[in-house]
Copies of this chain bind each other. A is one copy, B any other.
Amino acid sequence: MLKSLNLCEFTPKEEIENRIIELKKRMAEHGFSFAVIIQNVDLFYFTGSLQNAILVVPLDGEPVFFVLKSLNRAVVETSLKITPIKRDKDVKDILTDMKILKGRGGMELDVVPVTVFERWKNILGYDNITDISRLIKDVRVIKSPFELEQIKRSGEIIGHVFKKAKEVIREGVREIDIDAALVAEGRRMGHQGLLRMRGLNQEMMNCFVTHGYSATIPSGADVPISGVGITPAIGQGSSINRIGRGVPVLVDYGGGYNGYITDETRAFAVGDMKEIFKKGHAVAADIIEDAMIFGKEGVVGTEIFTRALHKAGKEGLDDYFMGHGEGKVGFIGHGLGLEINELPVITPRHEIILKEGMVFAFEPKFVIPGEGAIGIEVDFIVRKHRLERVTDTSMDVVYV
């Protein structure tokens, strides 16, 4: 019954097994004897269930999946053996009996708050614990065929949303009214309801509709186009700005299916579009076409960024590339998976070598101060000899 109300497939047993094998491999390389996983997304990744729970992975031996609540749900969702507990303090005796608490332990210290970490060291009576989050991210960066399937379903939701956008974008309508209609359309098509972003202060809404001035205003967020939003308490997103003619409406929408996030942007326009935006769109499309041919396993992310920047420069658009002034960001792509800010990041700042099975959003965008913004965002899967698009939705400007 629980299963039948879910729209999505539960994570297969072999998936979970492989993920834990990959984690252990890296734990061995980096000298970790055990990992204590408590963040909800990592818990879902390694167990298939998102409960009030603790997963302990010893380097030698089977993982121990402690579940506080809901036991009934965990039993249906996970293929792992469950160890029910009443209080998180019960973990210590069991781990001590199993002789797991030895050597160096790892926790997700990039997200676990200081007071929570202190409490866990206290519970375990164990101090030798360091950050293991990079190892977890390195496992998660390569997507399995099962995960790619979920990502494609997530991408399909975006397709429905862009089709709906063509119906609802009209002159005089407010950005938030378009936003409302598109979020609802996504939800009806199976959107999970929220998008996750890892780390302190990282938050993300499902939809950003921006147009003209509102598309050009930077925010505290590390994104090329933020929107003004409707309150300083959020400080980004769609605003009450009304759609006018000749300037693009950008719809940046995050799909979410069975945990997996996709993230694409398309441009819409009422009537014809000013020359500068047409040019920006053509350059963005050219950058994407180029990356699809050039990008593949083994290519370094920095090279993809450099080629894009070069193309923008050749057309005299470098000043507007990936934002303008204080709003300029230092990347053109970001990894996708269960969180919207995964690896790889496509930036000149880190040398990341692309590997088959990586997935990232690629978003050449231009911000013309005082006027508006233009650009495209598509999602790529890294393959041996090319980049594959997650969806085949057209990248063209949609005139309404």
Contact = CB atoms under 8 A, between A and B. Distances in A.
Contact of A73 (B112, B176, B218, B238): B218
User: DSSP class of A's interface residues: helix, strand, loop or mixed?
Assistant: loop
A11 B233 CA distance: 10
Interface stretch (A114-122, A245-253, A375-383): A114-122
A77 interface: yes
Interface string A335-379: 000100000000000000000000000000000000000000000
Interface residues of A, number: 85
A220 interface: yes
Contact of A116 (B180, B200, B239, B258): B200
A183 B192 contact: no
Given A219-B73, A326-B72, A214 B5 contact: yes
A235 interface: yes
Interface string A167-210: 00000000011011101110110101110100111010100000
A5 to B, nearest CB: 4
A327 interface: yes
A384 interface: no
Contacts of A179: 187, 193
A316 interface: no
Contacts of A193: 179, 205, 229-230, 234, 237-238
A241 interface: yes
Q: Which of A40, A201, A231 has most B Cβ within 10 Å? A: A231
A70 B233 CA distance: 14
Contact of A234 (B114, B192, B201): B192
A114 B113 CA distance: 6
Nearest to A77: B232
A180 B190 contact: no
Contacts of A184: 180-181, 183-184
A185 B177 CA distance: 9
Given A53-B220, A113-B200, A200-B112, A258 B240 contact: no
A98 interface: no
B176 A183 contact: no
Nearest to A76: B232
Nearest to A230: B7
Contact of A69 (B38, B220, B239): B220
Interface string A43-79: 0100011111100000000000000111111000100
19 contacts: A5-B239, A6-B228, A8-B232, A40-B203, A50-B233, A51-B219, A51-B220, A51-B235, A70-B326, A72-B326, A112-B200, A113-B199, A115-B133, A116-B200, A180-B187, A180-B188, A192-B233, A193-B237, A231-B258
* Nearest 4 pairs of A and B residues by beta carbon: A233-B259, A51-B220, A180-B187, A109-B114
Given A8-B231, A183-B187, A192-B230, 15 more contacts: A6-B229, A6-B240, A8-B230, A11-B232, A44-B232, A69-B219, A70-B326, A72-B217, A72-B218, A72-B326, A112-B113, A180-B187, A180-B188, A193-B238, A233-B338
Interface of A: 1-2, 5-8, 10-11, 38-40, 44, 48-53, 68-73, 77, 107, 109-117, 131, 133, 176-177, 179-181, 183-185, 187-188, 190, 192-194, 196, 199-201, 203, 205, 213-214, 217-222, 228-235, 237-241, 257-260, 326-327, 338
